[in-house]
């Protein structure tokens, strides 16, 4: 495990934590959103989903079995005991997922956005605590826009979160996000340049692995060219993410960061990375089989995955469509994730796994895996295999692991499965495997 500098990002609902987190991600930090991860652990069929349904009843479910967060929110925000029950179910699951992700992290700096940072004890492992604030009126306005609530409903939810004053006093720095993006970005950039990753505390005890020292990254020495504006956002649960209007604020208070004593090191200067604005979070994700009507969208998505300059030709898209058995995730009229799969002799196999961003992977891949695995079980498949390129983005393997897949070798598979998998394994690919049935015909690997 590589050690890293962990920023705990806190702020009340509507303060614009997500805006600050996205700015840090553009500067080179690894970004984690605890609220988004809560959506992941609450997906249909998970242990957390079952525990919530057992606690609150099937009345909180939609027609297709997903948790209706509006119904659940109406229950828990009006009942402190119910809220405590929900948090006792969700928080441990989110913490486990966060730790799983951090064990594989390779970034020198990680920012973790979490409203309940102190309540879950994660603050103890943060190297710096950043608090985001804004004016009360702006806060209410943002939540109303993002979550389609009235003012009374917003104030009820803010009241359920409790006072933020004590947490604010415990923060190392405060970022005023009441004004325009340029003002907020200037504060974030100044704080980013003050980060010293080499002072990060050893997190191996927390994560349960041996940590390697973290090297100072090139990213803190950075100049940010003008970029398309990122509208302040509330960390709202999918399926809706809305942007908000901004107003001009007074000049910001100069923030300072409290860090452990800095051990002198040789300065590291590297080429300035180009900030990348992450893709917008999909408003709604539909997971299904691909259709002939999806050919144009599939041609675009495959081209993105393969870094092609233009979409596939219609003939090539048709050929791939016929041979690939694609299962896709669709949002806002485009394909945002997909996998090609096939079945032979009780072995289900996926390849060409792709998601357009980390956020999309968190939202779509668990559901995509569920779809494929359910179809595989109907065909009595015993194991599901993912062929994943070594060069594939880390978030793909993270989601595979979170969904029960484990990296393995052909030799570790059952002898009946080995020739099928070996025949399809390509150079530069790694195997990830998941047993699908307990009452399998062959013996487990």
DSSP secondary structure string for all residues of 165-191: HHHHHH-SEEEE-SS-HHHHHHHHHHH
Q: How far apart are the first and last CA of the chain?
A: 26
CATH number of 5-207, picked from 3.40.50.2000, 3.40.50.720, 3.40.50.300, 2.70.210.12: 3.40.50.300
pLDDT at 212: 54
Q: What is d(CA 79, CA 436) in angstroms, rounded to the nearest whole number? A: 39
pLDDT of 41: 84
* Burial (Cβ within 10 Å: 0-12, 13-18, ≥19) of residue 142: buried
CA distance 396 to 365: 8
Confidence (pLDDT) at 239: 37
What burial letters (b/e) apply to 60-94, b meaning 16+ CB within 10 Å?
Answer: bbeeeebbebeebbebbbeeeeebebbbebbbebb
- The pLDDT value recorded for residue 270 is 39
Q: Is 439 exposed, middle or buried (0-12, 13-18, 19+ CB in 10 A)?
A: exposed
Q: What is the pLDDT of residue 367?
A: 94
One fold for both 5-207 and 286-435?
no
Specify the pLDDT at position 115: 83
Three-state secondary structure call for residue 350: strand
Q: What is the CATH number of domain 286-435?
A: 3.40.630.30
Cβ atoms within 10 Å of 205's Cβ, excluding its own: 10
Domain segments of the chain as ranges: 5-207, 286-435
Length of the chain: 445
- pTM of this prediction? 0.51
Burial class (CB in 10 A: 0-12, 13-18, 19+), 348: buried
pLDDT in tens, the chain (445 residues): 789 999 999 988 888 888 899 899 889 999 898 888 888 888 777 889 889 999 999 889 887 778 888 899 889 988 889 999 999 999 999 998 898 888 888 899 999 999 888 888 899 999 999 999 988 888 888 878 777 778 887 777 777 666 778 888 899 999 998 888 899 999 999 999 999 999 999 998 888 865 555 544 444 333 333 344 444 444 434 333 333 333 233 333 333 333 333 333 333 333 344 333 344 445 578 999 998 889 999 999 999 999 898 899 988 888 888 777 899 999 888 999 999 988 877 789 999 999 998 888 998 999 999 999 998 888 878 899 999 998 899 899 999 999 999 999 999 998 878 888 998 999 889 999 999 876 655 544 4
């Amino acid at each position: 495990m590589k050690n890293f500098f962990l920023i705990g990002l806190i702020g009340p609902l509507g303060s614009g934590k997500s805006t600050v987190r996205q700015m840090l991600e553009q500067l080179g930090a690894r970004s984690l959103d605890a609220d988004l991860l809560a959506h992941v652990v609450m997906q249909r069929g998970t242990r957390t989903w079952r525990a919530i349904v057992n606690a609150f009843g099937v009345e909180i479910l939609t027609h297709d079995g997903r948790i209706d967060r509006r119904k659940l929110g109406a229950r828990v925000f009006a009942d402190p005991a119910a809220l405590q029950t929900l948090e006792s179910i969700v928080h441990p699951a989110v913490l486990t997922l966060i730790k799983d992700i951090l064990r594989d992290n390779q970034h020198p700096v990680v920012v973790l956005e979490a409203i309940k940072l102190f309540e879950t004890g994660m603050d103890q492992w943060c190297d710096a605590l950043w608090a985001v604030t804004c004016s009360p009126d702006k806060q209410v306005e943002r939540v109303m826009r993002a979550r389609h609530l009235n003012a009374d409903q917003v104030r009820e939810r803010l009241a359920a979160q409790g006072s933020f004053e004590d947490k604010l006093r415990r923060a190392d720095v405060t970022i005023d996000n009441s004004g325009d993006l340029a003002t907020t970005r200037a504060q974030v950039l100044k704080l980013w340049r003050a980060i010293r990753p080499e002072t990060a505390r050893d997190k191996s005890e927390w994560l349960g692995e041996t940590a390697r020292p973290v090297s100072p990254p090139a990213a803190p020495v950075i100049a940010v060219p003008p970029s398309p504006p990122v509208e302040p956002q509330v960390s709202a649960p999918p399926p809706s993410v809305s942007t908000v209007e901004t107003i001009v604020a007074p000049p910001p208070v100069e923030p300072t960061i409290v860090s452990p004593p800095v051990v002198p090191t040789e300065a590291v200067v590297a080429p300035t990375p180009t900030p990348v604005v992450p893709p917008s979070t999909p408003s709604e994700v539909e997971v299904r089989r691909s259709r002939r009507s999806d050919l144009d969208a599939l041609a675009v998505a495959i081209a993105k995955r393969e870094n092609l300059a233009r979409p596939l030709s219609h003939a090539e898209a048709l050929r791939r469509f016929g041979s690939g058995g694609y299962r896709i995730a669709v949002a806002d009229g485009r394909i945002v994730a997909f996998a090609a799969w096939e079945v032979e002799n009780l072995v289900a196999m996926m390849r060409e796994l792709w998601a357009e961003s980390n956020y999309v992977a968190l939202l779509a891949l668990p559901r995509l895996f569920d779809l494929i695995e359910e179809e595989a079980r109907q065909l009595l498949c015993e194991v599901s295999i993912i062929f994943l390129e070594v060069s594939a983005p880390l978030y793909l393997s993270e989601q595979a692991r979170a969904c029960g897949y484990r990296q393995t070798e052909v030799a570790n598979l059952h002898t009946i499965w080995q020739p099928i998998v070996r025949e399809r394994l390509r150079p530069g690919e790694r195997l990830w495997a998941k047993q699908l049935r307990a009452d399998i015909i062959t013996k487990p690997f």
